[in-house]
Amino acid sequence: MKIVVLKFGGTSVGTIEKIKKVAQIISNYKKKKYKVIVISSAMSGVTNELIKKSIEISNNFSNSEHDVLVSSGEQIACSLIAGRLIHNGFKARSWLSWQVPIVTVGSYMNSRINLINKNKILKYLKDGGIPIITGFQGINNENRITTIGRGGSDASAIMFAKFFKAEKCIIYTDVEGVYTTDPNKLKSAKKIKVISYEEMLEMASLGAKVMQPVSIQDARLNRIDIEVKSSFVKKSGTLITQRSNIVNNKIVTGISSTQNDSKVSLIGVKDKPGVAAAIFKPLSKNSINVDMVVQNISANGKDTDLTFTIKTEDLNKTQKIFQKNKIIKYKKLIFEKGVSKISIIGVGMITTPGVTFRMFQALAKKNINIKVISTSEIKISVLIDKKNTKKALIALHKEFKLDNKK
């Protein structure tokens, strides 16, 4: 059985006219003799509106009822898609998570798909039907509806591709694919034809909004190839696949940048075992995400300077935490807003010497000062003044020849 899984994001089903277009895309695959499984998100804006209602009704709305409420958005979208396909002469119906069923484990609002019962869907496919299945949700062992986190419809599609051994898993969205950098920030950004799971995971975790990191991790673990493409234009998209499938002479695949980071520096901290844990424990307890971390030991070996980055909206909370913390002794506490993290990402770095030098030199030529540096196997990140973000993107895009056509 030749199965394709098609997932449509919120912007793709955002209006009645767009849903009509989605139905046409689905019918085109059906005409190519595919057995089509459709996963749909809620119409754009609906989930946020439902969350807003929960906040208005209660300042302590339960997590289990939250999942019941927000999962209703996908139900509406799936019914409308199925209705249009029936109008066009196809056999189609909507399937809610409990009707399949899609079995999840974990907590409400953040569950993971553990099992998909294939029997009913396989029978429906063999009978010529097109199942339109609610993404983002499942049921737990208590038969309660659960959701699998924002962006979870991608994860739903990937797991359906896994359980049904689909030939293709295509994520339809409002962009034509994954770009070398944000095309809204840099007009010379190019669409990437093929990208590895690892590179896409880094780009997603650094702010690329095409897919959620957890979905890419699911695809990587299950070796599911994903194509990301636009539901609005008939153009090829970006294939996300395993590294061994890629023949690529690019050292750097993409560049990401952040918009709302701040730098925190503790100067003259007494260097002793457990000091770093004592600094970051209260931040963790207050759900403050720490990103880049750099520690410098003084020449006498007794003091250390520790610098890290956080989101600017967490700055006031962080300041209060350190002011109340009597355990950590330091000489000075410095906060700096208006910084941006620039990262170059690419598996080609692993086997190519001199990448770090080229990055630093390209920034130096534009008089861009580097405040913090962090690296991994396929990523180099630097912290710079936010005002220099676009200048840095242009310089690095040019330095690593990402302006060139692929």
| 139 is a domain residue | yes
Task: Give the CA distances from residue 202 to residues 214, 339, 348, in Å, rounded to whole numbers and listed in that order.
Answer: 11, 20, 14
In a domain, 122, yes or no: yes
Which residues constitute the domain of residue 134? 3-174
* Helix axis angle, 355-365 to 389-399, nearest 10°: 130
CATH number at residue 127: 3.40.1160.10
Per-residue pLDDT at 403? 80
Rounded Cα distance between 172 and 174, Å, is 7
Number of domains the chain contains = 1
Query: Is residue 228 assigned to a domain?
Result: no
In a domain, 45, yes or no: yes
Asked whether residue 152 is assigned to any structural domain, the reply reads: yes
In a domain? residue 383 = no
Distance, CA of 9 to CA of 154 (rounded, Å)? 8
Tokens of 129: 């039907």
Q: Is residue 259 part of a domain?
A: no
Question: Does residue 402 sit within a domain?
Answer: no
Which pLDDT belongs to residue 40? 98
Each residue's pLDDT expressed in tens, for the chain with a length of 406 residues: 899 999 999 999 999 999 999 999 999 999 999 999 999 999 999 999 999 999 999 999 999 999 999 999 999 999 999 999 999 999 999 999 999 999 999 999 999 999 999 999 999 999 999 999 999 999 999 999 999 987 789 999 999 999 999 999 999 998 899 999 988 888 888 999 999 999 998 888 776 677 888 889 889 998 999 999 999 999 999 999 998 777 766 899 999 998 889 999 999 888 788 888 888 999 998 889 998 998 887 666 678 889 999 999 999 999 999 888 777 888 889 999 999 999 999 998 988 899 999 999 999 999 999 999 999 889 999 999 999 999 999 999 999 999 865 4
Beta strands 3-8 and 168-173 are: parallel
